[in-house]
Amino acid sequence: MTPCPGHMWDGSQSSFTGPALDLYRRLDAMFVRLADRIGAQDYAFPTMISAKTLAKMNYFTSFPHAVTFAVALDRDEQNLERFRAEADRDAGAGRGITLTATQPVQEVLTPAACYHFYPLFANRTLSAPAYLTTRASCHRRETHYEPLRRQWCFGMREIVVIGTAAEARAFAERAKHEVATMLAALGLSATPTVATDPFFKPERNPLAIMQRLDPVKTEFVFGGDLAVASVNLHHDHFGGTFGIARDGKPAHTACLAFGIERWVHMICAQYGNNPADWPLADVETPPVRKRERVDA
């Protein structure tokens, strides 16, 4: 991998400072600028999302291998005593922590940014399409990790529409066009490719089978194997599940997702490790973020 100055790797997730952080912020600012043009309202959500919400989406059936649970210990004093007797020593020795009794898991770490929107709009009737955006730290367990390319925790910017079938389709088509334009403007090449989500046991998962019969996911693939953005049509899956109505019917939804670390990787792979050679120098990051900046 081409080194990216200011990028730090701990084996499953990245930290940023200096030029890499600046690039990360400029990329997200570029995505936010697109969201602005689309008329999307910006949201900020917490790191965790309720297990009950994900269960309504059949998430645990479809992606049990990818879930990261927010686990809490049972508050029983003896249980806590048993836990603390071993935890620091085991974790310090690199053996990992063996949990004692835990409470039932009610929350998990967000696996996809757009999942926060559908419960937020539950049981509402929309008189116009809703265009929405958010950036989330997303978490997905993988069999292996690679710096900037495949991480347990990564930044995802999404732009979402909730509307009629025609509005969702029109958004998806525009999203593909906008991503292609964005890539071309940056001198990058990523090929639009029909894809499916990484379902558990896809051969017996009805949602996975339906994705093969009705391709609804287009990924923009860089270097032959790295999806840097995806456009997804959900039909009325979320609208029906969460009782969101538009034009007298269950709402249709679609989303455009950017994996921000992967865009950092793409630019370093394409332009090298000298920040002076990177594009996006003309993209302004929001002033408040500049004040937060800590130089290396």
- Which stretches of the chain bind other proteins, using CB under 8 A? 203-204, 206-207, 209-210, 212-215, 235
Query: 169 or 289, CB closer to other proteins?
Result: 169
What tokens were used for 244? Answer: 């969101």
Distance of closest approach, residue 240 Cβ to other proteins, in angstroms: 10
- CA dihedral angle for residue 257, residue 263, residue 265, residue 270, rounded to 10 degrees: 140
Element at 7 (helix H, strand E): strand 7-9
d(CA 190, CA 228): 8
Query: 204 or 291, CB closer to other proteins?
Result: 204
Asked if 163 contacts 130 with a C-beta cutoff of 8 angstroms, the reply is: yes
Distance of closest approach, residue 160 Cβ to other proteins, in angstroms: 21
Q: 3-class DSSP state for residue 274?
A: coil
State residue 253 phi and psi, 5-degree precision: -135, 155
Distance of closest approach, residue 202 Cβ to other proteins, in angstroms: 9
Query: 141 or 169, CB closer to other proteins?
Result: 169
Distance of closest approach, residue 128 Cβ to other proteins, in angstroms: 23
- Sign of the torsion formed by the C-alpha atoms of 134, 135, 141 and 144: positive
d(CA 26, CA 183): 14
Query: 7 or 237, CB closer to other proteins?
Result: 237
Query: 52 or 249, CB closer to other proteins?
Result: 249
Contacts of 198 (CB under 8 A, 6+ apart): 63, 66
Query: 214 or 225, CB closer to other proteins?
Result: 214
Distance of closest approach, residue 120 Cβ to other proteins, in angstroms: 24
Element at 217 (helix H, strand E): strand 217-222
Per the listing, tokens 């508050």 go with 75
Distance of closest approach, residue 210 Cβ to other proteins, in angstroms: 4
